[in-house]
Amino acid sequence: MLFKLSFENMKKSFKDYAIYFLTLVLGVAIFYMFNSLDSQEAMLSVSQSAREMIKLMVSMLGMVSVFVAVILGVLIVYANNFLINRRKKEFGIYMTLGMGKTQISKIILLETILVGVISLVIGIVIGVFASQFMSVLISKLFEADMSEFTFVFSKDACIKTCIYFAIMYVAVAIFNTITISRYKLINLLTALKKNEKVKIKNPFLCVVIFILASCILGYAYWKVTGGVQTLDTADKILPVIVMGIVSTILIFWSLSGFILHLIKSMKKVYLKDTNMFVLRQINNKINTMVVSMSLICLMLFMTISILSSSLSLRNTMQKDLYEMTPVDINLYKTANLPEKGVNRYRKEVTYTKEAREDSKITIQESLKNSGMGTDVLKDVIEIPIYASNDLNLKTFFGDSFEKVKTQYSMLAYDTAEEIVKISDYNKIASLYGMKQYELKNDEYIVLCDFDSMEVIRNQALEKKNTLTIAGKKYQSKYQECQEGFIVMSTSHVNTGIILVPDDCPLTEEDKEMFFLAANYNATTDEEKEKIEELFTNRNNSSYVQKLYDQGIIIDGVSKIAIIESSVGLATIITFIAIYLGIIFLIASSAILALKQLTESSDNRQRYIVLRKIGCDEKMIHQALFRQIGIFFAMPLILAIVHSVFGIQFVLSMMAGLASAEDLLPSIVVTVIVIGVIYGAYFLATYLGSKNIIKEDG
């Protein structure tokens, strides 16, 4: 009996459950998709480093899924609250007919289970098919062998999805039982006759608070853009975040107090068509949904910022990869090791006799001593890199030091500058296919392509500062940094190299390191990977391992490793961003849609009044469309404004990794994603609301 009643209620109330059902299906499908990435065997046909990246991505997505589950759980409870409130009169009739609250709770529980089971099944089916496309995408990103690609159902992802959503439904059932137990019969029967109490706010106070909130928000915007240098720790960033949240809430709170009065003063607008009705409806909604509108705005802001920034990061990293990896391998080792020193981990170490002797010879000689043949590398260029005790970052800035230190207090000003002779650099530049330079005997050039550091160095170069290197004075040839680098990397991160003439009186003791750039003597990818193992794998056949056993350390980076790690990092960031971004977008859209549908149901009588005073269906539908459109647009507009400054902050924090030039394609993709999902919820809300107000027409 109760099951049949629950099933009939669900069919009868399908229009109410439609958006709720859609949200559950999307949530289940997305949850399954992102938790089944490790199940596709085709992804395992990749290199060892790529396989490790995939494992890391799966692990991180698993942790993110817990956070996503909490968001979806809150959303489901929130949606249920609206659905329960819509059916108060129905529950009142049940109680009048003699049904107890326990039986009503059982009906609600059965309905929840039915909707949950159906949404789980459909969501998992959609997720299973969609995950195959996700697997293909991952495989292509990691350059996996697709010959063994097969259709896969992830049992673990399915079980995980069912468990997480079962916990959510249990929470919903408990919430519904508690809610039903608190209802009184008289309140249930008269629920539709009651309107939400709207407190009239003082318009003058609202204007003052709006201006104050705008000023706070403006200051927060300035801090994350113009004053970004001071936001170098979490405790400094947190107050700015709090200011943004508080000012957002105050803006929505104050809008409901004066926006109606402002429009009423514009008679031609206020009295035109059904604008009076629409504006009063919007005013009342904002008044009663200040916190909800603020939350939705912040979630949309996070969606826009996360998607745009992460996609921009990926685009920049992908674009820079091949430019920044012009050869197969870079190797470098410290020159002139003392008996005791401090290693890279800032620990005091005692170097072996073999290591000290080796530090005086070139990398090529060291490798030959470990057994490397002449047929392994080609296009070999090796140069020394110097460091002079009288030239560090502090002396480089000269008279500008105090000003620079005030602006950028976190820089390590006692770090010695890297110095390279011009002919040595030109050898590397020729191999890399980069611009070569010329110098007079009293000139120097600064190479720097790390954006934020380039700006700082240019402050000193504009003043034509003089540098003393090895007892000789040099003038800058240019008033700004020039493009160039020596060590390969994933992006433009060279913070500064000083090029000096060949006759600069640097000595053997000034040599800081030896640097080698070369290509593998191979033509196929398989041959290159075999040579790669001789330099990167710590095994008995590795040349670097044999040297390491003697206390001789040769470090390096390879093109293969850089590309694989960069692709892996970019992919991890992108997928987590898409995962979170879509969940935030679905949550905010669903909350808006459910609230609007509830409002449309509560306002049936108002639309009946519109018909009685002569409004035709076209005017009523236009009024409904404008009302829902404004309702959806308000949090989105403020979120877009937030995002303009938020994205700038993210780009400044990721200087050298993400570029503003690559932001446009990311924004286009973000607009499309938001347009499809947010637009779909808007359209579904409008059509659902239109059907609801027709019922009593």
SS3 sequence, 55-123? HHHHHHHHHHHHHHHHHHHHHHHHHHHHHHHHCHHHHHHHHHCCCCHHHHHHHHHHHHHHHHHHHHHHH
Mean pLDDT for 229-251 is 77
Q: Which has more pLDDT, 67 or 260? A: 67
Confidence check: pLDDT of 163 > 70? yes
3-state secondary structure of 420: strand
pLDDT in the model for residue 42: 45
Domain-by-domain residue ranges, the chain?
A: 1-194, 323-563
Mean pLDDT for 335-350 is 72
Mean pLDDT for 147-168 is 77
pLDDT in the model for residue 653: 66
C-alpha distances (whole Å) from 582 to each of 61, 142, 465, 577 are 14, 23, 51, 8
The region that residue 513 occupies, defined by phi over 0 for left and psi between -120 and 50 for alpha, beta otherwise, is beta
Confidence check: pLDDT of 381 > 50? yes
Beta carbons of 88 and 187 less than 8 angstroms apart = yes
In this prediction, residue 227 has a pLDDT band, given cuts at 50, 70 and 90, of: low
Confidence check: pLDDT of 620 > 70? yes
- Block residue for tokens 């499908």: 29
Q: Please list, residue by residue across 342-354, b when 16 or more beta carbons sit within 10 angstroms of its beta carbon and e when fewer do.
A: eeeeeeeeebeee
β-strand 497-500 against 443-447: which pairing, if any? antiparallel
Q: How many angstroms separate the CA atoms of 553 and 343, rounded?
A: 11
Confidence check: pLDDT of 320 > 60? yes
Confidence check: pLDDT of 581 > 70? yes
In the chain, the largest separation of any two C-alpha atoms, in whole Å, equals 104
Portion of the chain with pLDDT greater than 70, in percent:
75
Q: Which residues contact 272 (CB under 8 A, 6 or more apart)?
A: none
Q: Which residues contact 150 (CB under 8 A, 6 or more apart)?
A: 41, 42
Could you report the per-residue pLDDT of 95-127, keeping only the tens digit for each?
776 676 677 777 777 777 777 788 888 888 888
In this prediction, residue 501 has a pLDDT band, given cuts at 50, 70 and 90, of: very high
C-alpha distances (whole Å) from 507 to each of 228, 384, 442, 586 are 42, 11, 18, 65
Beta carbons of 295 and 470 less than 8 angstroms apart = no
Highest average pLDDT, of 101-115, 319-333, 656-670, comes from: 319-333
Q: How many angstroms separate the CA atoms of 520 and 389, rounded?
A: 36
In this prediction, residue 659 has a pLDDT band, given cuts at 50, 70 and 90, of: low
Confidence check: pLDDT of 228 > 50? no
Q: How many angstroms separate the CA atoms of 536 and 554, rounded?
A: 10
Confidence check: pLDDT of 697 > 50? no
Q: Which has more pLDDT, 208 or 420? A: 420
One-character DSSP codes across 165-234: HHHHHHHHHHHHHHHHHT--HHHHHTGGG-----PPPPHHHHHHHHHHHHHHHHHHHHHHHTTGGG--SH
SS3 sequence, 644-683? HHHHHHHHHHCECCECHHHHHHHHHHHHHHHHHHHHHHHH
Quick one: which of 211, 9, 23, 202 has its CA closest to 106? 9
Could you report the per-residue pLDDT of 444-483, keeping only the tens digit for each?
999 998 887 888 898 888 888 889 998 899 999 999 999 9
Highest average pLDDT, of 138-142, 192-196, 680-684, comes from: 680-684
Q: How many CB atoms lie within 10 A of CB 483?
A: 12
Q: How many CB atoms lie within 10 A of CB 170?
A: 14
pLDDT in the model for residue 183: 64
C-alpha distances (whole Å) from 513 to each of 108, 386, 405, 558, 639 are 73, 7, 28, 18, 50
Q: How many angstroms separate the CA atoms of 264 and 270, rounded?
A: 6
Mean pLDDT for 619-648 is 86
pLDDT in the model for residue 474: 93
Mean pLDDT for 525-548 is 73
In this prediction, residue 146 has a pLDDT band, given cuts at 50, 70 and 90, of: low
In this prediction, residue 575 has a pLDDT band, given cuts at 50, 70 and 90, of: confident
C-alpha distances (whole Å) from 187 to each of 89, 174, 222 are 9, 21, 50
